[in-house]
Chain A
Amino acid sequence: SQQGEEDPQALSIQEGENATMNCSYKTSINNLQWYRQNSGRGLVHLILIRSNEREKHSGRLRVTLDTSKKSSSLLITASRAADTASYFCATELGSGNTPLVFGKGTRLSVIA
């Protein structure tokens, strides 16, 4: 079952610009995670934000979480061509050891 939905489906920007991707979800969560996938490879975990957190930073990444709107955003600042990849949000529901539910992803293209 799909829980998170990313928006937009695809995004194309120039190198140096900021990229913003959004994720909406339907039910209450324990945490929300963002993953990156280079073409033809597995996913790599980028950052996790807990339900009681509103913002988190990691290098050029900034994640926000609005539990009242059931939405999150991932901002990549000063993008580089190497940031070209697909980005997925994943939610861990409720409490306990439950599988993550992934959205369909945003395909980001950064043009040099």
Chain B
Amino acid sequence: DVKVTQSSRYLVKRTGEKVFLECVQDMDHENMFWYRQDPGLGLRLIYFSYDVKMKEKGDIPEGYSVSREKKERFSLILESASTNQTSMYLCASSTRTGIRSLHFGNGTRLTVT
């Protein structure tokens, strides 16, 4: 069974801090995604990656960057955290071909104070 692991369930950071959210998947999936989820707004795509060292902007990339140095790991970076980045962050992975359903981690609830 596919496992997507996010390094932290809860995280509290201060405004201006650099924040790293880590995500690891164990099924050799090519595709990896970062979403944020906010009440009333649903899931919004921040960044995604179809291969190592590749990244593509999603719908709301401002204030974020990503890193994919290894196939199994996709990191989301908040260069300078702000209070409006307080949210639930969800990482997901999928295959590149065939049925591309997403496998999600359990999420990281980030609070920026």
Contact = CB atoms under 8 A, between A and B. Distances in A.
Contacts, number: 51
B48 interface: yes
B42 A43 contact: no
Interface string A96-112: 01011111110000000
What 5 pairs across the A-B complex have the smallest Cβ distances?
A: A42-B104, A104-B42, A102-B43, A45-B101, A43-B104
Interface residues of A, number: 22
A92 B42 contact: no
Interface of B: 4, 31, 33, 35, 40-43, 45, 48, 50, 58-59, 90, 92, 96-97, 99-107, 109
B42 A88 contact: yes
Contacts of B45: 99, 101
